A and B are shown apart, each in its own frame.
Chain A
Amino acid sequence: MSEHKQEQETTHFGYETVDKGEKAGRVADVFHSVAAKYDLMNDLMSGGIHRLWKRYTIELSGVRAGQKVLDIAGGTGDLTLKFSRLVGPEGQVVLADINDSMLKVGRDKLIDKGVAGNVQVSQADAQFLPFADNTFDCITIAFGLRNVTDKDLALRSMLRVLKPGGRLLVLEFSKPGNPLLEKAYDAYSFAFLPTMGRLITNDADSYRYLAESIRMHPDQNTLKDMMSDAGFAACEYHNMTGGIVALHKGIKP
C-alpha cells in the first residue's frame, strides 16, 4: 500500500494515529464519558470564559427573528438557547450532535429552561448533514470541528445546507500568538486539565485527549484556507484570549 493511501485512511485521535473508521467511535466514547458533567467542566476549565467566547459568536452571527439556525456539535445547547430567543416563534433552531448522550443533556437542559416550540433536536454527523440544500441562514459549530474525522467533508456538507448569503461560524481552540502564552497554556493543558478531569469526572484520559486534539487542530490560517477551499467566501477569523480560541466566519456565495 502506498504511503499516500495509508495517510488517506488514517487520521489523528489526539496524538495517536488511528484508522478513519475508528475515530468517530473513540470520540463518541470520550463524550459519553464527560456528557453528564460537561457544563461544569467547561466552567471550571475556562474559568467561565467560554461564555464570553459564545456570546461573541452570537453577536457575529447576526441572527434575526424568523431565521433558521443549525447548531452543529451543539452538545449541551448553550448556543441553541440564545439562538432560540433571537429567532423567536417564527424562526427555527436545530440542535445537532453526533453524540446521543450530549444531545440528551442538551435537550433536558433546554426543556428545563422553558425552551420549546422553535427548537428541534437531531442526532447528525457533521460530515453528512441530513438536511436539504439551502436550508439554513446560519450554521455554528462550537468546539466540535476538531473532533470530526474529515473536516473538509464536514465543511462542504455545511456549505451545501446553508442558504446563499448564509454564514458559517466555527468557534474552536486555536494557536496562541504569543510564545509565552503558548508555554503557559501548554503547561495548563497537559498538567492541570487531566488532573481536574480525574478529580471531577474520574476520567483523566478524556481530558488528555482534549488537550492533544487542540494541538492537532489546524491553526487559524490553515482553517481559513480550508474554509475557502470548501467554497466559502469572505473568510476571516477573530482571535480571542490571545489566540487560544479563534472564531472563523465564512459566507456561502
Chain B
Amino acid sequence: MDPTLSTAALASLERMINSALSYDPGSQQKLRKLGSKTLQICCQGPTITTFVLIDDGQVQLRQHYEGQIDCQLKGSAMALANLGLSSQHSLANSGVQVFGSTGLLVDLQGIAKDLDIDWEEPLSQLLGDVAGPSLAGLVRKGISFWREREASVWQRSGEALSEELRATPHPYELEDFNQAVDQLRDDGERLAAKVGKLQHSLEAALNAAKQGNQPE
C-alpha cells in the first residue's frame, strides 16, 4: 500500500481516537495512568503492522517504531477485529496470539469498553446551545438502550438464524468445522514435508548409485 494512504488512514484514526478521549476525561485519566506503553498489532492477512503508542493520555498510531514494545498481538484481520469488538477477556480460540504484557491488553480493552463520550459538548459546538444538548440527550439514551440490549439482540438473532431458520450453522458446528480445517491444513503441511524428505532421500540414493556405477 502507498505509504501516503496508510499514513492518512492512521492519522485520521488517531485524530478520531484522541477527539473521543478529549470528550471522556475519565477514560483519558485511565489511559494517563498507564504511562508510556506501546502495543504492536501485526495483522497477518493482509500483512499490516501498526504500533499504538500511549503517552500522557494520548494515543499515537504509527507504521514504524523502533523502541521497546510492551505487548504484541498477532492474528488475521477478522480475529483482531473480533477481539477489539468483543467484550470477553479470554483469548482462547480467538485466533490471536499475544506476546508480552497481557495486562496492558486487558487495561486497553477495559478502557475501550467503558468509553463514555460526553456528546453534549461536541454537538453543542456543532449545532448550538439549543439543538446540541437535545440531540446529545437522544444519542445518550440510544447508546444506553443499545448497551442494555446488545447481548440479548445478538443472542436472539443468532438463535433465530441457526435454530429456527436453519440459515447458518450453530457456533459449535462452526467451531468443529474450523478445527477440522486447521487439522487438515496441519496434516497437509506434514504430508508435504514428508514427501519432500522422501524426495530428497531418493535423489541422494540415485546420485550415490550413479557415482557407484561410474567406471574408474
Contacts and interface: CB of A to CB of B under 8 A. Distances in A.
A52 B63 CA distance: 12
Given A52-B8, A52-B11, A55-B11, A62 B66 contact: yes
Contacts of A51: 11
A69 to B, nearest CB: 15
A64 B3 contact: no
Interface residues of B, number: 12
A56 B3 contact: yes
Contact of A242 (B2, B7, B11): B2
B63 A59 contact: yes
Interface string A57-93: 0011010100000000000000000000000000000
Nearest to A63: B66
Nearest to A239: B2
Contact of A241 (B2, B11, B64, B65): B2
A62 B66 CA distance: 6
Given A59-B62, A239-B2, A64 B67 contact: yes
Contacts of A53: 4
B64 A62 contact: yes
B66 A49 contact: no
Interface string B127-148: 0000000000000000000000
Contacts of A62: 64-66
Nearest to B62: A59
Interface string B46-75: 000000000000000011111100000000
Given A52-B7, A241-B2, 17 more contacts: A51-B11, A52-B8, A52-B11, A53-B4, A55-B11, A56-B3, A56-B7, A56-B63, A59-B7, A59-B62, A62-B65, A64-B67, A238-B3, A240-B3, A240-B4, A242-B2, A247-B3
Interface of B: 2-4, 7-8, 11, 62-67
28 contacts: A52-B4, A52-B8, A52-B11, A53-B4, A55-B7, A55-B11, A56-B3, A56-B4, A56-B63, A59-B7, A59-B62, A59-B63, A59-B64, A59-B65, A60-B64, A62-B64, A62-B65, A64-B66, A64-B67, A238-B3, A239-B2, A239-B3, A240-B2, A240-B3, A240-B4, A241-B2, A242-B2, A247-B3
Interface of A: 49, 51-53, 55-56, 59-60, 62, 64, 238-242, 247
The 4 closest A-B pairs by CB, nearest first: A62-B66, A59-B64, A52-B7, A241-B4
